[in-house]
């Protein structure tokens, strides 16, 4: 009888979550996919029929192909092969793949590494579990349930060996779970000098590592930074994108100045490129230099003496006088772009907020459990791969980039003015790609999407946490199919919004944003509405209350609309009455006790208000002047 | 015989139970906290306090003497009742029909594989039987001793609710309180530019209650004078990162003894027992208790004479623990050790001896063999029954 084999690889947390920069995050996800791919290839080479993932072309399973493989693999095995032998070979293959990248990193940074610790850690990174059970011809469904339960049962006992701990060695700055493999000297000062010397001799390694003074890396973190050279966009580049597009849209002298800044970045060692993303942009570089505050810090760091304890990064230690001069030139050019004075282009400072988008299919486990035959599961796997490719394309078309698109999971970073449209397109693409499974899913399969809008100076750890919280909020209803947008202001409490896709929340948010941009809603209105939510706290939910609130709101809108227009007010009133009957957000702890209908609407407007700024910047100066709004 | 004293620690401020990540000028600008203090943190604080109360000089002899003091805990304590980490042998899930959501739970138990079934890497114990395909739902982080007593006795319990209320016996995870700090320039008394850092501390306040959530510790010492001082303790003492203040008081035993349902269940006679870790354990062999022989999975737990055979285990991914040593000559980061997370469950068959002895001799005693980790309070065991 054939066998059904399930394999699981990890640690996902160690590879993906522990990251300081988007590039760490992307490479961690990439390497885990490559290891999983090598395992899938091994199973396939032994004659296994892959069910998940289900490659469609001969090149899909080749190393570093665009095909993304998640960390769970399911395959049907021929009765003549031993599942235990295949599992063992698959583990050997996974270790070979991981060690290949680790060896590359070691080759690139050997002088910076304590090799004893390196060897100990590299051999003890991968987590690998397998389970199998017989697969009878007519009962795939039961076999799949059995094998996944067996795998879960095996993973319930995560047998591990004790650590080979070493006293006196600091722990990795990324997760603190392993000791640092970076070479240490007797004192902190000597360590600093030792590392500086090595990095000054190897400028390329310095560029790859972007190591802060005092930052410690374990073998996984070091491999993520040093194994391959591939630039990746930073969060600051995404945040600045609407502003950059606004300048490109206007063209002329401003775009020329931006290109001059890009030229200075290209010839410098303080700025990294954005890789395959933003290639056609006038500014395909790290966005930090476009923010005056960050630029000032870069210049201050570069001009500090090497022994100054305020010097943070070895990158800045390596800056030449030419680089410092370039930074000063950028400062002058930036001032010209941003300044509202006579000779300035009045573009102001780029909006420092970006959106992280985390999406996940609803009730996927239940849907897969309903498949009666493996052919259907294979078609489902192929449909999911199709969605993953499309998701990557959609996010790129929305001027963002994905860190991970595998199966029904998407993690991407998107400019604020594009994220609503991006979420809507992803939701539509998911339902369309999986429409074949509508009957089994009891309706078209849906995608819940969480969007967190946050400042680019937040740590990446926090940005990811905000994104995952938003995703959890989006899914936090039995029916799933939610869109949650969480705004994290630099100061103050987060503003949370959640609605079901069937209520067309994306279109509604776009409408609020355009009304704010056109001056039909004033900036103050959202705050006044929030005050109203407090005033109406505890009022009973009756038609009389709703009527009173509507009238009160109409009064407020009439008073606050910067361009009074009765027709528009009536149309808002209609939206308002719908909004008032809907409970907007999950129990958040932040707003409970106030009138949920009004508070929900106030939250929508507050988020829309914050997003409108990015829309203005993306429209360029021409659009702002035409609208009669401020620069 | 060593005297036994109980101490309650009431945090005045959020407590920072540091993880291993470096913090300091250029090393990281956030001091992070674990989800709950680890035993070595509270044991170190107790020994430092005892040393200070006894005017010790912390020389080699003093340190040796202090390390001999056994400190057990930390365990949450609310309104005089102990709480324990939620056990890993419960699977809580939600199922929905329409807009109706129902929460249920199942017990996870060892099973035997059927012919032609297998797992890899091979494990010398039976796998756990999962009988549900739903995703695990969020659940309480700690259970009261009443709830845990019923669970250990293999009795039915109410499914832990989504909205956890400590008064119902289910305590949610502690909230992390994140604060941003500035470095003050001592000459200008103003914040220094770019010198921002943040801390993440454990907030012990209970929403809607004026009763404090405390941490309970048990201290055993041969020094009668020390025991007396601890029993009548009442002072503010720093704990964890940033030296946040906590109120330390001697307290009567808040329930470091087996709950009644467990006594009754064992009294009826049991052939199989479960060990649930009330604090994380550090075993010499990694995941496997070091008193279990790998050759036949048989062994005798410390402090006991009952022979047990390990049948299965539910152990989540290891957690790192390290710390910073202030001991003379050893100052610096301590080596990384891997902990079996608290709440992990080991299933045993009783081979020889009276299981009641486990309740008498091993209840909330360390199941770790190394004297240092045992004295620090790692691997405190709760013992329960299961049907084999």
pLDDT digits over B302-332, tens only? 999 999 999 999 999 999 999 888 888 888 8
CA distance A457 to A235: 9
Residue A310 has pLDDT above 70, yes or no: no
Cβ separation A177–B128 shorter than 8 A: no
Return the pLDDT at A21: 87
pLDDT in tens, A3-14: 999 999 998 877
Return the pLDDT at A608: 95
CA distance A444 to A362: 10
CA distance A565 to A562: 9
Cβ separation A309–B26 shorter than 8 A: yes
Return the pLDDT at A297: 82
Residue A405 has pLDDT above 80, yes or no: yes
Look at A364-373, A621-630, B162-171, B287-296 and tell me which has the smallest mean pLDDT: A621-630
- Average of per-residue pLDDT values in chain A: 87
Residues of A in contact with B127 (CB under 8 A): 150, 153-154, 156-157
Residue B214: beta bridge partners?
B77
Q: Please report which helix (H) or strand (E) contains residue A483, including its range.
A: strand A482-488
CB neighbours of B360 closer than 8 A, spacing ≥ 6? none
Cβ separation A176–B114 shorter than 8 A: no
Question: Residue written as tokens 């760490």?
Answer: A24
Angle at A283 between CA A279 and CA A286, to 5 degrees: 95
**Residue A307's pLDDT band (boundaries 50, 70, 90)?**
low
3-class secondary structure, A66 = coil
Cβ separation B330–A128 shorter than 8 A: no
Return the pLDDT at A622: 61
3-class secondary structure, B79 = coil
Alpha-carbon distances of A57 from A60, A379, A406, rounded to whole Å: 5, 14, 17
Return the pLDDT at A591: 46
Residues of B in contact with A83 (CB under 8 A): 118, 120
Residue of A nearest to B101 (CA): A478
Query: What number is the average pLDDT over the span B66-81?
Result: 95
CB A395 within 8 A of CB A422: yes
Residues of B in contact with A312 (CB under 8 A): 26
Question: Residue written as tokens 């003093």?
Answer: B62
Better pLDDT: B25 or A384: A384
**Residue B49's pLDDT band (boundaries 50, 70, 90)?**
very high
CA distance A583 to A465: 25
**Residue B53's pLDDT band (boundaries 50, 70, 90)?**
very high
CB A141 within 8 A of CB A370: yes
Residues of A in contact with B119 (CB under 8 A): 129-132, 150-151, 153-154
CA distance B196 to A142: 56
Neighbours of B148 (CB within 10 A): 26
* Omega before residue B74 within 30° of 0, cis: yes
pLDDT in tens, B193-208: 777 888 999 999 998 8
B372 lies within 8 A of chain A by CB = no
Return the pLDDT at A587: 46
Q: Find the CB nearest A160 among B116, B130, B318.
A: B318
Return the pLDDT at B329: 83
Better pLDDT: A622 or A619: A619
Return the pLDDT at A309: 55
Residue A627 has pLDDT above 70, yes or no: no
pLDDT in tens, A496-554: 999 999 989 999 999 999 988 988 888 788 888 888 888 887 777 677 877 788 788 87
3-class secondary structure, A268 = coil
Provide the shortest C-alpha distance from residue A501 to chain B (in Å). 16
Query: What number is the average pLDDT over the span A176-200?
Result: 88
Both ends of chain A: CA-CA distance in Å? 73
Return the pLDDT at A560: 57
Return the pLDDT at A323: 84
pLDDT in tens, B352-371: 999 999 999 999 999 999 89
Cβ separation B333–A169 shorter than 8 A: yes
CA distance B310 to B289: 9
Residues of B in contact with A300 (CB under 8 A): 194
**Residue A575's pLDDT band (boundaries 50, 70, 90)?**
confident
**Residue A196's pLDDT band (boundaries 50, 70, 90)?**
confident
Cβ separation A309–B25 shorter than 8 A: yes
Return the pLDDT at A590: 46
Question: Residue written as tokens 């407007």?
Answer: A605
Strand ranges inside A25-161, DSSP E:
49-52, 72-77, 127-134
Cβ separation B120–A129 shorter than 8 A: yes
Q: Find the CB nearest A171 among B116, B286, B336.
A: B336
Q: What percent of chain B has pLDDT over 70?
A: 98
Residue A623 has pLDDT above 70, yes or no: no
Q: What percent of chain A has pLDDT over 70?
A: 90
Return the pLDDT at A459: 87
CA distance A527 to A578: 20
Return the pLDDT at B192: 82
Return the pLDDT at A1: 87
Return the pLDDT at A586: 42
Buried b or exposed e, range A53-78, using 16+ CB within 10 angstroms: bbbeeeebbeeeeebbbbbbbbbbbe
pLDDT in tens, A116-152: 999 999 999 999 999 999 998 779 999 999 999 999 9
* Omega before residue A53 within 30° of 0, cis: yes
Residue A450: beta bridge partners?
A358, A484
CA distance A403 to A410: 8
Query: What number is the average pLDDT over the span B286-311?
Result: 96
Residue A566 has pLDDT above 70, yes or no: no
Question: Residue written as tokens 């040796």?
Answer: B64
- Average of per-residue pLDDT values in chain B: 93
Tell me the count of A-B CB pairs closer than 8 A. 184
CA distance A246 to A617: 5
Helices A321-338, A292-303: axis angle to 10 degrees equals 160
Return the pLDDT at A203: 81
Cβ separation B334–A165 shorter than 8 A: yes
Return the pLDDT at B27: 65
Q: Please report which helix (H) or strand (E) contains residue A455, including its range.
A: strand A447-455
Residue A314 has pLDDT above 60, yes or no: no
Look at A209-213, B109-113, B274-278, B354-358 and tell me which has the smallest mean pLDDT: A209-213
Cβ separation B317–A160 shorter than 8 A: yes
In B264-323, the residues whose Cβ lies within 8 Å of chain A are: 283-288, 312-318, 320, 322
Residue A226 has pLDDT above 60, yes or no: yes
């Amino acid at each position: 009888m054939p066998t059904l084999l399930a394999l699981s690889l990890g640690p996902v947390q160690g590879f993906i979550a522990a990251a300081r920069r988007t590039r760490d995050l992307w490479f961690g996800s990439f390497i885990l996919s490559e290891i999983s791919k090598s395992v899938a290839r091994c199973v396939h080479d032994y004659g296994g029929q892959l069910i998940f993932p289900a490659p469609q072309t001969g090149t899909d399973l080749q190393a570093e192909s665009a095909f993304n493989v998640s960390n769970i693999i399911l395959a049907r095995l021929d009765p003549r092969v031993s599942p235990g032998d295949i599992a063992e070979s698959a583990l050997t293959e996974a270790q070979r793949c991981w060690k290949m990248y680790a060896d590359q990193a070691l080759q690139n940074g050997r002088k910076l590494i304590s090799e004893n610790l390196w060897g100990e850690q590299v051999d003890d990174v991968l987590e690998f579990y397998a389970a199998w059970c017989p697969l009878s011809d007519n009962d795939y469904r039961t076999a799949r349930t059995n094998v996944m339960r067996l795998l879960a049962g095996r993973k319930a006992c995560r047998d591990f060996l004790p650590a080979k701990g070493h006293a006196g060695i600091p722990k990795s700055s990324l997760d603190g779970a392993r000791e640092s493999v970076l070479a240490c000297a007797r004192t902190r000062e000597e360590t600093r000098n030792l590392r500086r010397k090595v990095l000054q001799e190897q400028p390329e390694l310095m560029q790859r590592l972007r190591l802060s003074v005092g930052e410690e890396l374990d073998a996984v973190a070091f491999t993520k930074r040093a194994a391959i050279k591939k630039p990746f966009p930073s969060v600051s580049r995404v945040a600045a994108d609407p502003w950059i597009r606004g300048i490109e849209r206007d063209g002329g002298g401003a775009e020329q100045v931006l290109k001059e800044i890009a030229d200075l970045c290209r010839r410098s060692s303080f700025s990294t490129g954005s890789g395959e993303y933003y290639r056609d942009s006038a500014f395909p570089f790290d966005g930090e230099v476009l923010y005056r505050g960050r630029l000032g810090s870069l210049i201050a760091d570069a001009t500090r003496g090497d022994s100054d304890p305020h010097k943070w990064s070895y990158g800045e230690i390596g800056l030449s006088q030419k680089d410092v001069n370039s930074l000063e030139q950028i400062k002058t050019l930036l001032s010209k772009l941003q300044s509202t004075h006579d000779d300035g282009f009045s573009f102001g400072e780029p909006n420092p907020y970006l959106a992280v988008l985390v999406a996940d299919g609803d009730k996927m486990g239940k849907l897969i459990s309903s498949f009666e035959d493996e052919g259907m599961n294979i078609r489902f796997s192929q449909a999911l791969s199709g969605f993953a490719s499309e998701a990557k394309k959609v996010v790129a078309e929305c001027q963002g980039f994905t860190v991970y698109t595998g199966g029904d999971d998407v993690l991407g970073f998107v400019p604020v003015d594009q994220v609503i449209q991006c979420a809507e397109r992803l939701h539509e693409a998911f339902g369309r790609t999986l429409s074949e499974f509508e009957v089994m899913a009891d309706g078209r399969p849906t995608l819940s999407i969480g969007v967190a809008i946050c400042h680019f100076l937040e740590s990446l750890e926090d940005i990811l946490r905000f994104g995952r919280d938003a995703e959890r909020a989006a899914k936090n209803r039995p029916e799933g199919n939610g869109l949650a947008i969480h705004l994290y202001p630099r100061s103050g409490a987060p503003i949370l919004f959640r609605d079901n896709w069937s209520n067309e929340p994306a279109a509604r948010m776009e409408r609020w944003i355009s009304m704010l941009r056109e001056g039909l809603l004033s900036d103050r209105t959202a705050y006044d509405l929030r005050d109203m939510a407090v005033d109406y706290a505890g009022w009973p939910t009756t038609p009389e209350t709703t009527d009173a609130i509507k009238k009160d709101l109409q009064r407020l809108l009439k008073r606050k609309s910067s361009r009074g227009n009765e027709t528009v007010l009536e149309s808002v009133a209609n939206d308002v009455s719908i909004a008032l009957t809907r409970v907007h957000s999950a129990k958040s702890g932040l707003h409970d006790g106030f009138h949920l209908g009004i508070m929900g609407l106030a939250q929508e407007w507050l988020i829309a208000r914050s997003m409108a700024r990015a829309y203005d910047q993306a429209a360029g100066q021409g659009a702002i002047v035409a609208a009669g709004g401020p620069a | 015989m060593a005297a036994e004293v109980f101490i309650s620690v009431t945090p005045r401020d959020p407590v920072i139970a540091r993880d291993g990540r470096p913090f300091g000028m250029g090393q990281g600008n956030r001091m992070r906290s674990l989800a709950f203090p680890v035993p070595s943190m509270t044991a170190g604080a107790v020994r430092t306090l005892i040393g200070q109360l006894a005017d010790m000089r912390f020389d080699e002899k003093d340190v040796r003497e202090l390390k001999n003091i056994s400190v057990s805990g930390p365990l949450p304590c609310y309104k005089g009742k102990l709480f324990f980490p939620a056990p890993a042998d419960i699977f809580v899930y939600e199922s929905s029909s329409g807009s109706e959501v129902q929460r249920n739970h199942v017990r996870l138990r060892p099973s035997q594989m059927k012919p032609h079934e297998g797992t890899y890497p091979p494990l010398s114990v039976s796998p756990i039987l999962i009988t549900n395909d739903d995703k695990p739902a969020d659940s309480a982080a700690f259970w009261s001793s009443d709830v845990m007593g019923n669970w250990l006795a293999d009795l039915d319990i109410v499914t832990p609710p989504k909205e956890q209320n400590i008064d119902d016996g289910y305590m949610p995870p502690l909230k992390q309180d994140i604060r941003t700090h500035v470095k003050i320039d001592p000459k200008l008394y103003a914040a220094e530019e770019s010198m921002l850092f943040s801390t993440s501390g454990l907030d012990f306040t209970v929403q809607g209650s004026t009763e404090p959530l405390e941490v309970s510790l048990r201290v055993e010492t041969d020094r009668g004078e020390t025991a007396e001082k601890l029993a009548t303790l009442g002072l503010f003492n720093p704990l964890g990162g940033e030296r946040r203040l906590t109120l330390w008081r001697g307290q009567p035993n808040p329930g470091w003894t087996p709950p009644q349902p467990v006594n009754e269940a064992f009294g009826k006679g049991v052939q199989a027992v479960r060990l649930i870790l009330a604090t994380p354990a550090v075993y010499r062999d990694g995941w496997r208790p070091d008193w279990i022989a790998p050759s036949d999975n048989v062994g005798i737990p410390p402090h006991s004479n009952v022979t047990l055979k390990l049948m299965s285990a539910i152990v989540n991914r290891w957690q790192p623990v390290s710390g910073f040593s202030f001991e003379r000559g050893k100052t610096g980061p301590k080596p990384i050790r891997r902990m079996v997370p608290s709440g992990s469950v080991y299933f045993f068959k009783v081979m020889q001896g009276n299981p009641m002895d486990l309740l008498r001799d091993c209840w909330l005693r360390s199941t770790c063999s190394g004297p240092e980790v045992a004295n620090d309070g790692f691997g405190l065991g709760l013992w329960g029954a299961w049907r084999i």
